[in-house]
Structure 1
């Protein structure tokens, strides 16, 4: 089952082309205290997003850039489509479900008006912190799957991505990139800050946290957990099938169809502990210290299993 997002491909290919023409200074802008990529986001769209009306049956995946949102987004979308085909085929309009760019904050200013005409369940992704989401998301209790990945692997993946995705500033060395990441001078801001803010929302009834690492360890079990949270009423057979379709190998092979040229940039390794090839002693000490100070003892911090995945 290969889900083709035409708008996804169109917008990303334009962003890649625009990014190639930008100076480093032009690539980023700051809005409401957070840094964003110019080729993908704009103040006008953020302003229009404020009036977006979320529905209680919306399916939202929230995760920081390079935390696994495209992979987990494939799983979530597959689960929703599989459920609709089994239980409400008369309501399923796959073309409309995949009509918009999946990330809530990326598109044009009329996007949200169009989305109001689409049938449920609407599936959306976001890299935004919860305090930057439209008020209606929490007011109307749209369900949010919050994706967490250990910060060192996010850092490693983001470094490689930044050096291959033209709308993002490239870095000659990991140390220069690491400094920008820790100071929040990267697209989507600081990951540590992102986790700290989400920790304040993680116990809300419409939020379910899940880790990239647990999904990697047992994707079918993770698919079942996601399905139950979104009340999709699927079977063990469905979970296994979704897991098979969402393997890294399968998604990479289909990436030209599903993601256009962006697929060559997006699917690199998809593993765990790649950070060990990049972090030096100084990087490790700084990340360990910041994590201990800001996230140790929190619910999100404990879910990361820092001692398992992030110790040198």
Structure 2
């Protein structure tokens, strides 16, 4: 790919931001990457790993002539960053993000970007790993993975197309939803599963015989609880940011558990088998479509 972006500025050069930079470098789609972050050690590591060319020092100077700015920090930090960069954005500088929730990020942008709101195109790359930090970044993280854009009414078609181009250069598959659709969808298929995984492990952690229980845990426990190894701070923020949609999904799940509890109490084998069969068929169809 011909160099589509002369300069990209990334706030947060860990897994998401670092992988974005590496993927664009691999595609020869960017000339220069400048990194900002809260940890000088992480930034220096990112520079040594070839993720960024330079460690940014002056935010106003760097964003003024950037083609694209990526906010790859926890969503709780984005409002402050938007307020810092907005007065200094160049006329053609676009801003996007990698946040796992969109309603709160859009609200933060509207509160802090003022007349620059048309330059912000929200996004969510559906890719990740349990490891974090610059050392976890990889050039192929987004290959074949979904990235959801949630364009604003103020965004021009050209701006959305430019942000789409950046993610497609990472070999991602780009889709579009509204922010509201995004948060409802991911409450069901991402945020709730994380909540349930954390809840199961937390339950075991409170038990006196947890070491005995874990000594017999095998692949089922490992697969179900893998995502409980994710960042507690990040998932605290995601859960609170999307709490309304997540509460709706949690209540629906409690209803499912209540139904299964009633079937167990009644010894209703047919009902249990029907629940399990319906779930198995849906899971098998989904896995087949995913090539798994």
Q: TM-score range by the shorter chain?
A: 0.3 to 0.5
Between structure 1 and structure 2, the one with the greater Rg is 2
Normalising by structure 2, report the TM-score.
0.33
Normalising by structure 1, report the TM-score.
0.31
> Which structure's relative contact order is higher, taking Cα pairs within 8 Å and 6+ residues apart?
1
Normalized per residue, which structure has more helix?
Answer: 2
